[in-house]
Amino acid sequence: MYIGFDYGTSNCSIAHMLDGVPTPVAVEGDNIYIPSTLSAPTRESVTEYLFRFCQIKPSDKIGEDLLRRALAFNHDEGIELEARDVNFGQAALNHYLQDPQFTYYVKSPKSFLGSMGLRDIQIRFFEDLVCAMMANIKRQGEARLGQTIDDAVIGRPIHFQGRGGVESDRQAEAILRQAASRAGFRHIEFQFEPVAAGLEYEASLTEDKNVLVVDIGGGTTDCSLLQMGPSWKDKSDRSASLLAHTGERVGGNDLDIHISFRQLMPALGFGSKMLSGIEMPITQFWNPVAINDLPAQTDFYAKENMAALRMLHKEAQQPEKLARLIEVYQEILGHGVVRRAEEAKIGLSSAATYRATLDFLRDVVELDIQQNDMMNAIEVPKAKMMRLVSDALEQGGTKPDVIYMTGGSAKSPILKAAVAQVLPGVEVVSGNDFGSVTAGLARWAQICFR
């Protein structure tokens, strides 16, 4: 059978067609969404887990070398890996929060797939990481459906996160394809995520319209201007209906990161001064929360950075705040800070004030965040998102009849108002913020594999 597979930056989900209707499949207990997270005792445990418990072998000699290194490392460290040691989704997050110092934790690996400068062995590791997550979701879906899932249409952004342009996109899609193939999918197709979301909206149209799809996901924002409606429905070639595409590495995770940086990191010393009167270096507060930036994370958690943090603590006018930053370093708590910012973002969508609690620190910190504070914090990523909307309109050369907003961050009243300001007078409609892409991918899978 076939499915639509949304391997998202924040969440993953799958759907199949049942009596002509896209139907989601539970993939984590009774939940149809599973957070895009993984935890394991060590980084190397991911590769060993695939080989030992999923019977998934490396795809080439580089992968075989990665496996040999992983087995040797875990053996030397005295780690006897069991299947239950590798967790996915909410279980992975819970495990990380309980024991962050001794847990290898990854959120949103999709964010790194387009990174340039990766060595071949690093690419194979990312392939293993994605493969483990896909294999888990495939296994859960098959258990629910009672059937083997052979074929999948996988969603992809217009542009993956990466500075290499077309080469970044090519690398990321190749990793996804190879990972899906190793996970057991026989036939694999890709579809742009905003196009997939539009296909779901198209099912409700009774007349042809120009539709601007604004898909604000966890890692990227994608805009597609499409001709949609009854005359296009079920066509296998939609190239003539695609009037414009824009996309960039800016999404819901960036909103969380900017809220973390501007509103939470001051409690850890951001904006404070050294005894000399000089302000603390910004990068020491940006890097720990820049969870979608591999070089930033590497720099902050590098062993040599500990000496720099201790020097800042010694020279700080408010050393108690720098002590918290050192704790974030020692306990690898950057993801925890961003998680609290995400909760604040959600809370402030419907309230004027939100109290954020950094309760994973030894010295628990409580901070009140105002909605205006959040709006100021996210101004930079919001402006980038709106530029993508404007660029799509310019590229398409026509005004849409309707704006269809989808994606996890599309429910934000701040972003909805911003889009409406770019196109005053054009109706803005919302779909299933998380499920539109998955449903559209299932519809496209029916066209590809029927």
Domain contains 201: no
pLDDT of residue 162: 63
Query: Contact, 351 vs 342, CB < 8 A?
Result: no
Alpha-carbon span 155 to 440, nearest angstrom? 9
220 shares its domain with 307: yes
pLDDT per position as a tens digit, 65-81: 999 999 999 999 999 99
Q: Is 199's pLDDT higher than 70?
A: yes
Whether residue 77 is found in the same domain as residue 123:
yes
Pair 35, 131 in one domain: yes
Whether residue 448 lies inside any domain: the answer is no
Q: Residue 49 pLDDT more than 70?
A: yes
Query: Facing residues of 228 across strands?
Result: 209
Give the model's confidence band at 434: pLDDT under 50 very low, under 70 low, under 90 confident, else very high: low
Give residue 88's identity as a one-letter amino acid code: F
In this structure, are 359 and 215 located in the same domain? yes
- For residues 286 and 203, what is the distance between their CA atoms, to the nearest angstrom? 43
Please give the Cα distance from 356 to 427 (Å, whole number): 35
Which pLDDT score, from 0 to 100, does residue 202 have? Answer: 92
431 vs 399 pLDDT, higher one: 399
Query: What's the number of domains the chain is made of?
Result: 2
Q: What is the structure's pLDDT at 234?
A: 80
Residues 6+ apart with CB under 8 A from 66: 47, 58, 121, 124, 125, 128
Same domain, residue pair 123 and 272: no
* Same domain (yes/no): 149, 250: no
- The letter for the amino acid at 337 is V
Task: Record the tokens describing residue 339, joined without a space.
Answer: 């998680």
Q: What is the pLDDT of residues 154-185, one digit of tens each?
A: 999 888 866 668 899 999 999 999 999 999 99
Structure tokens that stand for 380 in this block: 């930079």
Whether residues 147 and 218 fall in one domain: no
pLDDT at residue 431 tops 80:
no
In a domain, 424, yes or no: yes
Rounded to the nearest 10 degrees, the angle between the axes of helix 61-76 and helix 120-145 is 90
Domain of 404, in residue numbers: 207-431
CA distances from 280 to 12, 269, 315 (A): 38, 7, 10
Is 438 part of any domain?
no
| 165 & 307 share domain | no
Q: What is the pLDDT of residues 283-317, one digit of tens each?
A: 999 999 999 888 899 999 999 999 999 999 999 99
User: Does any domain span residue 350?
Assistant: yes
By DSSP bridging, strand 187-192 and strand 151-156 are parallel
* pLDDT tens digits along 202-239: 988 999 999 999 999 888 899 999 999 999 988 888 88
Neighbours of 278 (CB within 10 A): 9
- Kindly report the CATH number assigned to the domain that includes residue 247: 3.30.420.40
Residue 64 CA to residue 122 CA, distance in Å, equals: 13
Tell whether 302 is covered by a domain. yes
Whether residues 167 and 250 fall in one domain: no
Whether residues 260 and 405 fall in one domain:
yes
Residues 312 and 342 in one domain: yes
Do 166 and 263 share a domain, yes or no?
A: no
Average pLDDT over residues 257-265: 97
Dist CA 396 CA 384 (whole Å): 18
Calculate the CA 167 to chain-centre distance.
20
Can you tell me the distance from the alpha carbon of 381 to that of 433, in angstroms, rounded to the nearest whole number? 19
Q: For 334-393, give the DSSP string.
A: HHHHHHHHHHHHHHTTT-SEEEEEETTSSS-EEEEEEHHHHHHHTHHHHHHHHHHHHHHH
CA 234 to each of CA 5, 93, 237, 378, 431: distance values in angstroms, whole numbers, following the listed order: 19, 40, 9, 39, 20
450 within domain boundaries = no
Residue 192 forms part of a structural domain: no
- Strand 104-107 versus strand 37-40 pairing type: antiparallel
Question: In the prediction, which pLDDT does 391 show?
Answer: 96
The per-residue pLDDT of the chain, averaged, comes to 93
